[in-house]
Amino acid sequence: MLRVLVWLAAVVAGGALGLGSALYMAGLWPEGRSLAFGNVDVDGWRGDFATGSEAADPYTRARVARHGLLALAKTEAVYLTRNTDSAGKRLSADCTYRLTGGAMAAGWWSVTLYDAHSMLPANTGGALSIDASRMGAGAWEAVIAPERPADAAHWISSRNAGAFDLTLRLYMPEPALLEAPGRTLAAPRLERLSCGKDAA
Amino acid sequence: MKRWLGPLAALLVVAAATHSAALHFAPAFIMSRAMDALAARGVALHRFTTPARITPQTQTVVRSSPDLYYALCRFDLSNPGVQLDVRIGDWPDYQSLSFFAAQTDNFATIRGTGRAVAVRLLPPGSAPEAGAIVSPTAKGVILIRRLAPSAERFAAAAAAGKADRCRIEWRERMAAPAEG
C-alpha cells in the first residue's frame, strides 16, 4: 500500500512540478512576471521581436498568447513594454509621471497604459494613450496621472490602473530598428514627479 | 535507497512530459478560449464584425489599442472544398489585414495603406495559388487594423469598413480536360 502511495505521490508531484515550471518559465505565473522576458531592452522598454512569428520559442508563444494575443510579427509592428520609471521604481497609479520623447524610427507609434491584467483600466477619462498623429514630429511631453493636470497639453489617465505598465507600439518599423534597436530607437523617458498626496 | 529510484525517475519523467505538454498546448488553449469569448461577444464566423471603438468598457482582447479600428472575422476551413474570400476597403492611413492560426502564429499580414486589398484564404494542405494564402490550421482569426486615433477617424474607418468582406465559398472545380 505504501509503495503505491509513493508512486502516486511521485506522479502527482511530477505533474505539479512540470506544470508550475512551465508556467513560471513562460512568465504566466505568478502574475506580473511577463516583463522579466524578451530579447530586446531599450532603456527599460522590453519586448520580444519573435512575437507573432512561427520562430518564437514555446515559452514566448505561451506568454504572447496570454498577454499579447493577435500581436503582429515584427516586420509590421513591434511592441515594447515597461513597468518601471527611469529610476527603476514600479509604476503606480498613486504617482504622477512625465513622459518625454521625440520622433521614432517607425511609420507610426503610440504609448498606451494597461493595468496588471493587460487590460485598459476602468476609467472614463478618454485618455489612455498618446500617438504620433497627436504629438507631432518633434519633441513631445505628456503627463501620466489619475486626474488631468491643469497645465499639461497631453495626458494619459492612470485612474483605477493600480500597478500599471506602458506599451510602446512601433508600426512599420524601419529595418535599422529591427537590426539594432538599442542604437536606432530614441525611446521615451519616464520620470516620476510625485507620489501619494503630492501627486497632481 | 534503490526503492526510491523508481518513483524519483517517474517524478522526473512526468515533470518533463507535463512541462512540454503545457507549453505545447497553452497557445492553442488560450486562443481557443479567446475565440469562444469573441464568439460569445458577437464576433461572427466568416464575416467581419462591425467593431465598437476600443474603450475600457468595450475591450475583449488583452492589450487592444484605443487608437486602432479592429474588425475581426473567425474562420473555419475544416472542409477542404471551401475557401475564404477576404477583402478590405480603401483607407488613406495605415491599414493591414493579418491572419492568425489556431496556435496564435501571425502567418500572414498584408499592408493596405491607401488601397483596397483582395485575397483568398485556402484550407491547410492546399497547393499554393496566385492571389491566395494557405492557412496552416483549419481554424483561426483574421484581423483588420486601421489607424483611427479619434472618434471622427474611427467613424470614417467604420464607413470604409462597409467594403470589407470575409465570405466562405466553394472552390471552383478543376477544369475538365479538353476533348479531342
Q: Return the amino acid letter for A73.
A: A
pLDDT of A122: 95
Distance from CA of B48 to the nearest CA of A (A): 16
Of A69, A112, A134, the CB nearest to B65: A112
Residue A54: pLDDT above 70? no
Domain check: are A134 and A81 in the same one? yes
pLDDT of A37: 64
**pLDDT confidence of B156, banded at 50, 70, 90?**
very high
**Spatial separation of the C-alpha atoms in residues A63 and A56, rounded to whole Å:** 10
Residue A111: pLDDT above 90? yes
The CATH number of whichever domain residue B2 belongs to comes to: 2.60.40
Phi, psi of B69 (to 5 degrees): -90, 125
Rounded mean pLDDT of A57-67? 75
pLDDT of B176: 42
Q: What is the mean pLDDT of chain A?
A: 89
Rounded mean pLDDT of B118-146? 96
In a domain, residue B124? The reply is yes
In a domain, residue B100? The reply is yes
In a domain, residue A92? The reply is yes
Domain check: are A45 and A20 in the same one? no
Domain check: are A75 and A137 in the same one? yes
Three-class secondary structure of residue B31 per DSSP: helix
Query: H-type helices in chain A, by residue range?
Result: 2-25, 58-67, 132-135, 175-179, 181-184
Residue A11: pLDDT above 50? yes
Q: Is the ipTM, as predicted for this complex, more than 0.90?
A: no
Domain check: are A26 and A56 in the same one? no
Domain check: are A78 and A13 in the same one? no
In a domain, residue A35? The reply is no
Strands (E), chain A: 40-42, 45-47, 77-82, 95-101, 106-114, 129-131, 140-145, 155-157, 165-173, 189-195
Domain check: are A87 and A9 in the same one? no
Domain check: are A21 and A46 in the same one? no
Domain check: are A61 and A19 in the same one? no
The CATH number of whichever domain residue A47 belongs to comes to: 2.60.120.600
- Taking CB atoms and an 8 Å limit, are A26 and B63 in contact across chains? no
- Taking CB atoms and an 8 Å limit, are B18 and A22 in contact across chains? yes
Of B30, B57, B66, the CB nearest to A129: B66
**In this structure, is the dihedral angle defined by the CA atoms of residues A172, B155, B151 and B92, taken in order, positive or negative?**
positive
In a domain, residue B176? The reply is no
pLDDT higher at B103 or B57: B57
Structural domain range at position B10: 1-171
Residues in chain A with CB shorter than 8 Å from the CB of B31 are 65, 69
**Spatial separation of the C-alpha atoms in residues A62 and A60, rounded to whole Å:** 5
**Spatial separation of the C-alpha atoms in residues A144 and A125, rounded to whole Å:** 12
In a domain, residue A123? The reply is yes
- Taking CB atoms and an 8 Å limit, are A72 and B13 in contact across chains? no
Residues in chain B with CB shorter than 8 Å from the CB of A28 are 26
Q: How many domains does chain B have?
A: 1
In a domain, residue B179? The reply is no
Domain check: are A23 and A90 in the same one? no
Q: How many domains does chain A have?
A: 2
Rounded mean pLDDT of B64-69? 96
pLDDT of B177: 47
In a domain, residue B122? The reply is yes
**Spatial separation of the C-alpha atoms in residues A127 and B56, rounded to whole Å:** 11
Domain check: are A81 and A120 in the same one? yes
Of A10, A23, A73, the CB nearest to B11: A10
Residue B44: pLDDT above 90? no
pLDDT of A50: 77
In a domain, residue B27? The reply is yes
**pLDDT confidence of A34, banded at 50, 70, 90?**
low
Residues in chain B with CB shorter than 8 Å from the CB of A18 are 14-22
Of A22, A61, A76, the CB nearest to B96: A76
Distance from CA of B177 to the nearest CA of A (A): 39
Rounded mean pLDDT of A79-94? 95
pLDDT of B175: 43
Domain check: are A139 and A85 in the same one? yes
pLDDT of B31: 75
* Preferred mutation among A120, A129, A166 to probe B, highest tally of B CBs within 10 A: A120
Domain check: are A187 and A93 in the same one? yes
Structural domain range at position A17: 1-30
